Amino acid sequence: MPEEMPFSYEEIQKLRELLEVEAIRKLRNLYAHLLDSGDIDALAALFTEDAVCEFGPYGEWHGRETIRHNYAQVFREQIQSEFGSLHNTGNHWVELTSPTTAVGRSYLIDVLTHTDPAANPVEWFGVYDDAYRKRDGEWLIERISLQFLWPQRQLSDGFSAPFPPK
């Protein structure tokens, strides 16, 4: 068997980049798990202190404490029954923009689990546009802008811009 060649500098850099991207994807997945399980305090801890959430019909929320309070209010019914809704996210694209910043886009299918089986359980189809910041070695959410596609289309200015940004 031939002796394996050591990794090149470029391959090591690419592996480091992949580790950062995977950490951000895990953050996005943890966001959905914490939201759906009703752990609002742990969910709020995923955000930077000065984070911004743009949630169309739910308003624009500034700062970690406001975000914590508003999640508790908006999702109080779902929180009462653990996993009352499932925020299914997929197709997560992450682009590192610097060693401590990144952007991401993922698709959302929000399903209610406490509805009549004969009813349509889908609450929203949407797209998350996120900004992430690495602080003290940990990736956090700096901005979430949720684009609502269905049942009512509510898009932020600039949403149709190409992704990832140039």
Q: Is 161 within a domain?
A: no
105 forms beta bridges with 93, 129
Q: Is 97 within a domain?
A: yes
Q: Which residues contact 163 (CB under 8 A, 6 or more apart)?
A: 93, 103, 105, 129
- Kindly tell me if the per-residue pLDDT of 127 is higher than 80: yes
- Kindly tell me if the per-residue pLDDT of 152 is higher than 80: yes
CA proximity to 54, closest of 126, 162, 138:
126
* Domain CATH for 43: 3.10.450.50
Sign of CA dihedral 56, 58, 59, 60: negative
- DSSP state, 154? B
Q: State whether residue 84 is helix, strand or coil.
A: coil
What are the tens digits of pLDDT across the range 28-46? Answer: 999 999 999 999 999 999 9
Q: Is 28 within a domain?
A: yes
Q: What is the mean pLDDT of the chain?
A: 93
The number of folded domains in the chain is 1
Q: Is 160 within a domain?
A: no
Place of tokens 């886009």: 105
**What residues make up the domain containing 42?**
9-150
Q: Is 43 within a domain?
A: yes
Helix segments in the chain, DSSP class H: 9-37, 40-44, 64-74, 76-80
Q: Is 159 within a domain?
A: no
Q: Is 157 within a domain?
A: no
